[in-house]
Amino acid sequence: MSGKMIGVDVGGTFTDIFVLDESDGTARVGKVPTSRPDQSTGFLQGITEAVADIGSVGVVVHGTTAGTNALLERKGARTGVICTQGLRDVLEMRRRDRPRTWGLRGDFEPVVDRRDRLEVPERTLADGTIRTPVDLDAVRRAARQLQDQGCIAVAILFANAYANPANEAAAVAALRQIWPNEHVSASSEILPEIREYERFSTTALNAYLQPEVSGYLGRLGAALDKGGFGGEFMIVQSNGGVMDVDTACRFPIRTALSGPAAGVIAAGYIARSAGFDNVITGDMGGTSFDVSLIAEGRSMLAPQTSIDFGMVVRTPMIEITTIGAGGGSIAWVDKGGLLNIGPESAGSDPGPVAYGLGNDRPTVTDANVVLGRIDPENPIGGKLARLDVQAATRAIDIHVGQPLGLDTLAAAEAILRVANSRMAGALRLVSIERGFDPKKFAFMPFGGGGALHAGAMLAEVGIARAIVPRYPGVTSALGCVIADMRQDFVQTLNAMLDGLDTEMLGAVMQDHHDRGMAMLKAAGTRFEARDATFALDMAYIGQTHTVSVPIPAQVSAGKVHSPTQAQIAAAFDNVYRDTFGRLLPGGVRRILNLRSAVTGKRPKFDLATLAPTVTDPARPKSTRKVHFGTDWHETAIYDRLTLPVGTVITGPAILEQPDTTVLIEPGLVGRVDPLGNVILETGPEAGA
Amino acid sequence: MSEIDPITLSVLAGRMEQIADEMDATLFRAAFNPIIAEAHDASHGLYHAETGDTLVQGKSGLPIFVGVMSFAVKAVIEKVTADGDLADGDIFIFNDAHIGGTHLSDMRLVRPYFREGKLFCWLASVGHWHDVGGAVPGNYNPAATEVFQEAFVLPPVRLARAGVVNQDIIDILLRNTRLPQSAQGDLNGQLGALALGVRRMDELLDEYGAGTVDAALDALGIRAERLMRSELEAIPDGRWEAEDFLDNDGIADTPLPLRVALEIKGDRMHLDFTGSAPKCAGPVNIALPTTIATVYVAIKHIFPLLPANAGVMRPIEVTVPEGSILSAEFPAPTGGYTETILRMIDVVFCAFAQAVPDRVVANAYGTINALSIAGRRSNGKPWVMFSFYGGGHGGSPEGDGLNHGNAPISTATIPPLEILEAAYPVMFRQWALRRDSAGAGRHRGGLGAVYEIEVLEENGAEGFLFGERGRFAPKGVAGGQEGALNVFTYQQGAEWPHPPLVSKMRGIRLKQGEAVRLETPGGGGYGPPAERDPTAVALDVARDYLSEAEADRLYGPTWREGMR
């Protein structure tokens, strides 16, 4: 099917639209203010402004932060839990951790109140044996009580349900008989994996989000329908793949990192199109700097994350490392005389001192303002008319300059140097510390502030170049259009390799394969290819950390052929040797989980359609004084979107565009590549 | 000493901390045993070339090691000074707790870092090995009266000389553990972490020069000292005392006092532990290095922004009488050191709470409750389930204590019950919060937990427990009340007896279908209970954290006004 594909990313301030016309390969971008409280108005407005005839749109893909925000702000539905007798506090007891190592302060409230967690007689043992069949009368009583107490969603959380879901399934059926409710999550359906806290938490958070997210997506769907949309509506998952909207309504927890994942997917694609398969992305926002690594075109996936203390979500997700160094991070000098950045942040409201909204402690952005790197007359984002340089100067003097005995400029440079070194630390963490050589990577900043710090990352980490995408502000919307359709499955097997029943393994693989393919089939989208991949979490017996072992599996005519024990053994040995350097002679190989991924590859489009068409040679629109090191430099300012392909600009220079500011420091050179990206590299004259 | 500008110092502080963090991460990934891999019972850092003082330490390691590691380095410095030789590529190894602190399970590796032929600093790695011989697998022997019954003892010896590893040492080590594969894996991981530290230091010194880094290390010490002094200066001068007791030493049923007098004068502090119990027969003694390290842990919980740097200790004087439980000498057993240092932290908190009540949290549950259930399966294979259990944290000036937290000396998490049930023939009948366990207060303590574990194996099993707080409950501060006592019972047919020594017992025989039940303490309360918001009390009752009867007793009947 051909037609228009639209990616929509709803942010805090703007809703970004990316439109791809599959019939001729052209693309364009749009931006409207995000509507509140109902985001669907702005969502639809953005689409109708971008395309005249919504009926010509085949697919709308949405990267959403609705789920993340509901979790962070604790605005999910009142949720009840029905659980195994004796275990109602698992959610609240966590894995016996604490919020911070030092200080012993802070308590924790789970999203489900203790009064809404009810126990029923039932018990399944670790080997799947049912020791106590579930007491269905007790389940019905619990269901009625939860209903009476005002619960809207329910999570069924039974011990060892990963090994045998029968008791949970019976409880769900009994509950639905007396309480027809689409917001019921059973732990064996959401995550049939061993470890009750992680499974219960993920399941309870899924239930907690279901009414909120399905309501939100329902409103968007209805708005689209009303506008005359007859195509398919899909949602980006945390793993970087998309799912249909019905799946998203059943498994809203899979959207926990939907928005950021779309951004990383796009960054990887832009970098690859520009000729770089290895890239580290850096999204600098108001309070944090989010870093993700893509090696050989593939994103790293993390098995779980914690949205906040005690809110564990275990679904495969693009690995994003966050440090507290954003534009709003506060610079302060401790009593020992050491300059620190963060973790306290002024965020975007009240934001930096220069915003004039009530914060009087200096931030990283204030340092950029005082040094002339940000134009105080034309702040990006369009929210403020101008920035208050004097207030920023005063704040830096009082809180950093005076305690350290530095003048304003030296103090502002100091703030940037320390902030850059913290950001560089995050890049080292995801690269050097994981065995990747940063020299082989490009750095891609996105978000409003990242491109001001790109040059520093080259100098600090030894990265060869930075790529600033042509439209850094719509990266997530672009990612929506590029993402493949993907479904992940997990099943705990908990077996020794020697005694493994490969027929049973084959049957589980077949089940995962069939369910994934059915989902692809149900989607109206065109796929270039469909494939299923399988991996086993394995370790030697006695070892805690498992390694992920991709296993060879033949699929012919829809039939999955399980690998033999010998094939699995060989695959494990290879991975283990690569990871730990040596095998353990005589060690017993154990299989914990099967993980399957079914992917429908969506057609890609050529980013050249977004490339600059202008040919007039680049000319600075103005100059202004910008401070680097110890001196002011008269610095050329360019309008970035007017630069033709092939332009080479030697630093110092600043490229401005509505959603970001690109800083080319002295000694760096910026080059506009054929796709309109700006590639920053060390200039030839700067030498070694 | 060359000068260093404050900005370079800030940058270098972050870089060096990252080196130590990366050493931690390297070992966590490579380690074979879950105590290191999951519970992160390990630590790494950089230490002063001449004094062995802590310069920088990783953030992810176990809190207690932050203070104790420098003693391992000091011991090695003593040895090489006596021997009169030290070469680049030497690596030392030992577990002797009387020299290096903590207990014999902690294997310490110390390596000199040379720059241009000169000793620049020391790198060290410590990790809790799964088994180091002795009478009991896992080395928690509640009946030990000498270290020899706890584990084999290795004094500081050269594992490698000038880069060449001495296989003889490794052979001795592996012959003295029940789990040689695990030990080999952990040893490899620790060697890997040290090698990584050397590489990263090389890179750092290439980039900044030895002079600058050296100056930064000195400056960080001065800064740490300055931070500590400024905190102490803000505390009014005075002298405050606190005491608490251990239930017993596992041998004789006699309470063991721990006493401290805290004296603040200007920007200096003196902690005097005179009056604490003399050395005891059982394994709750601790060596002097452990005592000093524990002072550091307690102080850093009260002032969390203090860095992991020896400069912090410069304005602090610690007095420990000779022959005390806190300065035990070889070969006194130290295997149960965790219980003693938890109580030390409690008394230091209680002393500080009188001086600066707005800075201190009430006592946490105060025992790690090492519980082991072991037996043989019908096929003859032995099994040992060994774990530590959680309890409540103390109420704080800011709010209620955390329900079911981990011990202040640790950041270890508890294994999931499903992992335990999959690995061992047991079933958790209950894994829940413990009602009426929180210490009352304006901000109550966190709740302790109830764990009831049934043996499924037809051959039955044998249990042992090493716990505390069976007779002396976690204290409240600033007018807050005590949390509940630790209660351990075990099922014998229709009976549920208590151990004669309350919190410690070995040789508990359990038949199939019988269970043990552990009810752990809640945290102490903060502030007078009368100041607690009645709606908060009512909510605790509604949530069944607190029974109505206890609410009446602790808070008076007015809490009912808080009911909605």
Question: Residues A109-164: pLDDT tens digits?
Answer: 999 999 999 999 999 999 999 999 999 999 999 999 999 999 999 999 999 999 99
What distance in Å separates the CA atoms of residue A660 and residue A381, rounded to the nearest whole number?
8
How large a percentage of chain B has pLDDT more than 70? 99
Q: Do A169 and A132 lie in a common domain?
A: yes
Q: Are strands A117-120 and A79-84 parallel, antiparallel or unpaired?
A: parallel
Q: What is the pLDDT of residues B481-494, one digit of tens each?
A: 999 999 999 999 99
User: For A685, what's the count of Cα atoms within 13 Å in the CB-facing half-sphere?
Assistant: 6
Residues A517, A585, single domain; the answer is yes
Choose the closest CB to B30 out of A107, A197, A580. A580
- Is the CB of residue A130 less than 8 Å away from at least one CB of chain B? no
Choose among B13, B18, B305: nearest Cβ to A428. B18
* 3-class secondary structure, A55: helix
Burial of A511 (0-12, 13-18, 19+ CB in 10 A): middle
* Nearest of A5, A111, A135, A127 to residue A57 by alpha carbon: A5
- Per residue in B376-423, pLDDT tens? 999 988 888 888 999 999 999 999 999 999 999 988 889 999 999 998
Question: Could you tell me which chain A residue has the CA closest to the CA of B393?
Answer: A104
CB-CB neighbors (< 8 A) of A162 in chain B = 418
Q: Do B227 and A160 touch (CB under 8 A)?
A: no
Query: How many angstroms separate the CA atoms of A539 and A541, rounded?
Result: 6
Among chain A residues, the shortest Cα distance to B418 is held by A195
- The reported pLDDT for the residue numbered A1 is 43
Contact A336 B230 (CB under 8 A): yes
Taking the Cβ of residue A289 and every Cβ of chain B, the question of whether any pair is shorter than 8 Å is answered with no
Q: Please write the tens of the pLDDT for every residue from B192-229.
A: 999 999 999 999 999 999 999 999 999 999 999 999 99
Pick the last residue of a domain from A580, A601, A622: A601
Cβ contact, residue pair B14, A421, below 8 Å? yes
Domain identity same for A682 and A595: no
Calculate helix-pair angle for A454-461, A408-430, nearest 10 degrees.
Answer: 60
Which of A114, A132, A338, A340 should one mutate to test binding to chain B, selecting the residue with the greatest count of B CBs within 10 A?
A338
Of A195, A433, A543, the CB nearest to B32: A543
A108:B38 CB<8 A: no
What pLDDT, on a 0 to 100 scale, did the predictor assign at position A448?
74
Distance separating the N- and C-terminal Cα atoms of chain A? 53
Interface of A with B in 328-347 (CB under 8 A): 334-340
Q: What is the mean pLDDT of residues A635-662?
A: 93
Is residue A14 classed as helix, strand or coil in its secondary structure? strand
Selecting from A335, A425, A587 the residue whose C-beta is nearest the C-beta of B227 gives: A335
On whether the CB atoms of residues A148 and A178 are closer than 8 A, the answer is no
The reply to whether residue A421 touches residue B22, judged by beta carbons under 8 angstroms, is: no
The reply to whether A629 touches chain B by the CB within 8 Å rule is: no
The mean pLDDT of A648-652, rounded to a whole number, is 94
Q: Which helix (H) or strand (E) holds B537?
A: helix B534-542
Looking at beta carbons, which residues of chain A come within 8 Å of B34?
544
A304/B contact by beta carbon, under 8 A: no
**CB spacing of A195 vs B411 below 8 angstroms:** no
Flag if A87 and B543 touch (Cβ within 8 Å): no
Q: What is the mean pLDDT of residues B517-542?
A: 97
Interchain pair B181, A93: CB under 8 A: no
| DSSP reduced 3-state for B90 | coil
Q: What pLDDT, on the 0 to 100 scale, is given for residue A688?
A: 36
Q: What is the mean pLDDT of residues B48-70?
A: 88
Amino acid at A662: V
Of A102, A115, A196, the CB nearest to B301: A102
* Strand spans (E) along A193-311: 232-236, 242-244, 279-284, 289-295, 298-299, 301-302, 305-306
Q: Which of A202, A182, A184 is nearest to A193 (CA)?
A: A202
User: Cβ of B226 and A418 within 8 Å?
Assistant: no
Distance (Å, whole) CA A162 – CA B137: 32
Q: Is the pLDDT of residue B45 over 90?
A: yes
**In whole angstroms, what is the distance from residue A640 CA to residue A451 CA?**
12
Which structure tokens are listed for B543? 């949530």
Structure confidence by residue, pLDDT tens digits, A462-516? 899 999 999 887 888 999 998 999 999 999 999 999 989 999 999 999 999 999 9
Q: Taking CB atoms and an 8 Å cutoff, what residues of chain B touch A425?
A: 14-15, 18
Domain boundary among A168, A202, A236: A202
Q: Is residue A214 part of a domain?
A: no
Give all strands (DSSP E) within A438-484, no chain letters: 442-446, 465-468
Contact B363, B180 (CB under 8 A): no
More confident residue, A12 or B444: B444
Domain contains A156: yes
Given an 8 Å threshold on Cβ–Cβ distance, is A92 in contact with B394? Answer: no
CA nearest B427 in A: which residue?
A125
* Contact between A86 and B430 using a beta-carbon 8 Å cutoff: yes
Mutation target vs A (from B7, B44, B222, B450; most A CBs, 10 A cutoff): B7
Residue A584 sits at the chain B interface (C-beta within 8 Å): yes
Task: Tell me the residues of chain A between 93 and 112 that have a Cβ less than 8 Å away from chain B.
Answer: 93-108
* Enclosing domain of residue A83: 77-202
| A95:B32 CB<8 A | no
Q: Check CB contact under 8 Å for B399 and A336.
A: no
Q: Give the closest of A162, A195, A417 to B11, CB-based.
A: A417
d(CA B441, CA B398): 12
Q: Reduce the DSSP state of residue A415 to 3 states and report it.
A: helix
Residue A555 included in any domain: yes
Q: What CA–CA distance (Å, rounded) separates B61 from B254?
A: 35
Residue B551, C-beta contacts closer than 8 angstroms, at least 6 positions apart: B537, B540, B541, B559
* Strand pairing category for B42-48 and A678-682: unpaired
Give the pLDDT of residue B243: 98
Per residue in B227-268, pLDDT (tens digit) is 999 999 999 999 999 999 999 999 999 999 999 999 999 999
Candidate from A107, A334, A544 with C-beta closest to B34:
A544
Total number of residues shown for chain A: 688
The pair of three-digit structure tokens given for residue B458, joined into one six-digit string: 């037809």
**CA-based torsion, A461, A467, A468, A472: positive or negative:** negative
Q: Which of A495, A489, A490, A507 is nearest to A539 (CA)?
A: A495
Q: What is the mean pLDDT of residues B75-91?
A: 95
- Closest residue on chain B to A460 (Cα): B207
A507 and A539 together in one domain: yes
Cβ burial A193-231 (10 Å sphere, 16+ → b, else e): bbbbbbbbbbbbbbbbbbbbbbebbebbbebbeeeebeb
Distance from CA of B280 to the nearest CA of A (A): 30
Please report the residues numbered 517 through 546 in chain A whose beta carbons come closer than 8 angstroms to any beta carbon of chain B: 542-545
For residues A351-357, give the mean pLDDT. 92
Least Cα distance to B474 among B428, B505, B441 occurs for B441
Q: Is the pLDDT of residue A685 over 70?
A: no
| Any domain includes A289 | no
**Higher pLDDT pick, B86 / A379:** B86
Tell me if B419 and A417 make a contact (CB, 8 A cut-off): no
Q: Which of B377, B257, B255, B230 is nearest to B312 (CA)?
A: B230
The alpha carbon of residue A418 is apart from the nearest alpha carbon of chain B, in Å, by 6
User: What token pair was written down for A253?
Assistant: 């927890």
DSSP helix/strand/coil, A284: strand
CA neighbours within 13 Å on the CB side: how many for B361?
Answer: 32
Over residues B509-536, the mean pLDDT reads: 97
- Among candidate residues A33, A56, A27, A57, the one with its CA nearest the CA of residue A45: A33
Q: For chain B, how many residues are written?
A: 564
Q: Which of B3, B9, B10 to mutate to test the interface with A (most CBs of A within 10 A)?
A: B10
What sign results for the dihedral spanned by CA atoms A419, A420, A423, A429? negative
Asked if A147 is an interface residue toward chain B (Cβ–Cβ < 8 A), one would say no
CB spacing of A417 vs B404 below 8 angstroms:
no
ipTM higher than threshold 0.90:
yes
Domain annotation covers residue A152: yes
Residue B322, judged by CB atoms within 10 A of its CB (0-12, 13-18, 19+), counts as exposed
% of chain A with per-residue pLDDT over 90: 65
* B361 chain-A contacts, CB cut-off 8 A: 103-105
**Mutate which of A90, A100, A105, A332 to test chain B, going by most B C-beta atoms within 10 A?**
A105
pLDDT digits (tens, 9 = 90+) for A44-81: 888 988 888 888 898 999 998 888 888 988 999 999 99
Name the percent of chain A lying above pLDDT 70.
Answer: 98
Rounded to a whole number of angstroms, the distance from the CA of B6 to the nearest CA of chain A is 6
Q: Is the pLDDT of residue B548 over 70?
A: yes
Band of residue A608 on the pLDDT scale cut at 50, 70, 90:
confident
Q: How confident is the model at residue B2 (pLDDT cuts 50, 70, 90)?
A: low
A251 lies in some domain: no
Distance from the B23 Cα atom to the nearest Cα atom in chain A, whole angstroms: 9
| pLDDT for the residue numbered A687 | 40
Domain-embedded: residue A345: yes
Residues sharing a CB contact under 8 Å with residue A37, sequence separation 6 or more, in sequence order: none
CA distance B496 to B83: 58
* Residues A553 and A652 placed together within one structural domain of the fold: no
Q: Among the three residues A557, A579, A601, which one is the final residue of a domain in this structure?
A: A601
CB pairs under 8 A between A and B: 190
Q: Averaged over A244-251, what is the pLDDT? A: 93
Any CB–CB contact under 8 A between A160 and chain B? yes
Taking phi over 0 as left and psi of -120 to 50 as alpha, with beta for the rest, A431 belongs to alpha
Beta-bridge partner residues of A118: A82
pLDDT in tens, B306-351: 988 999 999 999 999 999 999 999 999 998 999 999 999 999 999 9
Is A656 found in the same domain as A587? no
User: Does A247 reside within a domain?
Assistant: no
CA distance A651 to chain B (A): 24
A387 lies in the same domain as A366? yes
Contacts of B456 in chain A (CB under 8 A): 125
Q: How many domains does chain A have?
A: 4
Residues of chain B with Cβ-Cβ distance to A104 below 8 Å are 301, 361, 364, 393-394, 396, 402, 405, 408
Nearest 10 degrees: CA dihedral of B209, B215, B216, B220?
A: 160
In this structure, are A578 and A676 located in the same domain?
A: no
Same domain, A627 and A666: yes
The CATH number linked to A528 is 3.30.1490
pLDDT at A686: 45
